[in-house]
Chains A and B, each alone.
Chain A
């Protein structure tokens, strides 16, 4: 397991299924991706497309039962995460891989002081004494630009606004200077101005600490300015993966094109309705045999309903899951 080709994280054919009353839900169904040190990866997709589940799988945080990582390899810095004991996984969580959650209003414990929660991380992982941990917590709060941290540190979460809480979460996540930061929709619950501040903050700290980042979002605008490459997920599968610039310039998948077209454009013709992809994401418990997107696709043909599409390689870093990937790629040049 030593050859990791400079990759910090390699996920290979990961499948995470959930056993439910309606049958097996294939939340993540055979996804593979790589992340190099210092790189930022964006994972985009609609709700329920498996973005969060794939990352919870990486941290082994899938609730079991009903969930289960059925197959696949997760290599983090050469370590096979799936084979680790619970104890060993705990030593990685928070120390080497950290996570920021979607809703800062609920992801801090309302009964514990901010200081207690921040100190806990370094006390567990770095063996800090109370004083050391307190000083470190203070420093982290300063790093995430919380005003007057020495006065705020002993406050409770309810005394902080949403944006401030997300800052605290980021401070907590970065306390041990992790190698990988997974940000699961870090700005979805925040308003637009705070969104920009938080993204800037993550960006700045990423360069400062050299952390790799996985940014999960359903907002293409967020990933555009932040990521090196992007994965588009749909129904538990990777539909397209490409370097950010190329994905925005020449998407090779009708779904990606649909997503890009759905982004509100300020230069939009007045009175013209906003584009939206018709229909709803499919029920992942019983997928049709063909392409899961066929029903909603504007260029679906008969083969799409019958056969599962191939994962076509467009060029070295660009892949797309579509029967007509090359045609779509070629046609999307001029946009």
Chain B
């Protein structure tokens, strides 16, 4: 008995003390992430941005009474005021406060990025995991389908979807979804945009996950799981997908800015978000018309968007380094 105790102490010096919590893998990654200055900068900027766009409009309305679609009635010839104390970012052509519009645009831009990424996570991860695990002919067919969709320019798909299903032809379920949030043609268009961008953004995710699963499925723990009678769906989603989570998180963080950029591009072209709603892309599109006379109309939404995209990319890169110990720099 004494000897046993001795062995116990030797093997596990902390046997009677607090045992280290089991999350050290993620804790490690978190520590590495915090060492990366750019990633921390990105994280802070994104956190601030999210807070500002969610509660900013309320605070502004409470303080000054300005809303994104408030158009002053006293008609000056020139309504676009430069930045002032009352309008920190100036106003647009119609005299609407630009700060309010940038904040509202941020809501929509971030939502587009996040919702499309969630869609791509759900569809892409399951699709890629199933293809990779089943392998053989199933994998071949599934991945050729991805290749085919990939070969069609995705902007084209989105434009076609938006113009075919936009306006009157909106599918019922999108309509009811937007009705839930207040309804209207503008909201319909935004939800359609979420859907269309989500539809094309899962392709790369599927490929990333498939590659991961391909290399993981021959690991012995999969054989061990099979040998204990675990069913195939459970092996895929409970045993394999968690192991592929690192690259998935990294890729998802990098999908957000790329989808936001696409949204901005579409709105810039005039087929994305429509007035009275605004996104950073549509604000920039409005601003570019008056760049010579009212530069603040372009500069503020543009800089805000660029800052957010930079931060997301920094964060994504930081996460990649943090979650992959092999590539970490000492």
Contacts and interface: CB of A to CB of B under 8 A. Distances in A.
B25 A98 contact: no
5 contacts: A94-B228, A109-B239, A148-B19, A152-B19, A155-B19
Given A108-B221, A151-B15, A155-B19, A98 B228 contact: yes
Contacts of A109: 221, 225, 239, 242-243
B275 to A, nearest CB: 48
B227 A94 contact: yes
B156 interface: no
A148 B15 contact: yes
Interface in B217-234: 219-221, 223-231
B20 interface: yes
Given A61-B223, A61-B227, A148-B8, 14 more contacts: A93-B227, A94-B228, A94-B230, A106-B219, A107-B224, A112-B239, A120-B228, A120-B230, A124-B229, A148-B12, A148-B19, A154-B22, A155-B19, A156-B24
A93 B224 contact: no
Contacts of A59: 227
B148 interface: no
A223 B220 CA distance: 24
A156 B20 CA distance: 11
Contact of A61 (B24, B221, B226): B226
B75 interface: no
Contacts of A106: 219-221
A112 B231 contact: no
A91 B19 contact: no
A327 B25 CA distance: 62
Nearest to B136: A65
Contacts of A284: none
A90 B8 CA distance: 38
Interface string A157-200: 01101000000010011000000000000000000000000000
Nearest to B239: A109
A107 B221 contact: yes
Contacts of A172: 228
Contacts of B221: 106-110
A93 B22 contact: no
Interface residues of A, number: 39
B15 A99 contact: no
Interface of A: 59, 61, 65, 90-95, 98-99, 101-103, 106-113, 120-121, 124-125, 147-148, 151-152, 154-156, 158-159, 161, 169, 172-173
- Interface bracket on B: 20 to 34
B44 interface: no
6 shortest A-B CB distances, which residue pairs?
A94-B228, A94-B229, A93-B229, A111-B242, A99-B227, A106-B220
B19 A92 contact: no
B243 to A, nearest CB: 5
A98 B228 CA distance: 7
B245 interface: yes
Contact of B12 (A90, A147, A156): A147
Contacts of B231: 90
Most chain-B CB neighbours within 10 Å: which of A59, A111, A169?
A111
A174 to B, nearest CB: 11
Contacts of A103: 220
B224 A101 contact: yes
A112 B16 CA distance: 24
Contacts of B15: 147-148, 151
B11 interface: yes
A335 B193 CA distance: 84
Interface string B193-233: 00000000000000000000000000111011111111100
A61 B224 CA distance: 10
A99 B224 contact: yes
A120 B225 CA distance: 9
Interface string B283-306: 000000000000000000000000
Nearest to B14: A151
B50 to A, nearest CB: 29
B22 A159 contact: yes
A290 to B, nearest CB: 35
A99 B20 CA distance: 30
Contacts of A121: 228-229
Contact of B226 (A93, A111, A156): A93
Given A65-B136, A147-B8, A90 B229 contact: yes
B22 A113 contact: yes
Contacts of A113: 22
B211 to A, nearest CB: 17
Contacts of A120: 228, 230, 238
B248 to A, nearest CB: 12
B242 A151 contact: no
Interface string B104-125: 0000000000000000000000
Contacts of B12: 147-148
A59 B224 CA distance: 12
A98 B8 contact: no
A99 B238 CA distance: 20
Contact of B228 (A93, A151, A152): A93
B4 to A, nearest CB: 8
B207 to A, nearest CB: 21
Nearest to A106: B220
Contacts of A151: 15, 19
Contacts of B230: 90, 94, 120, 124
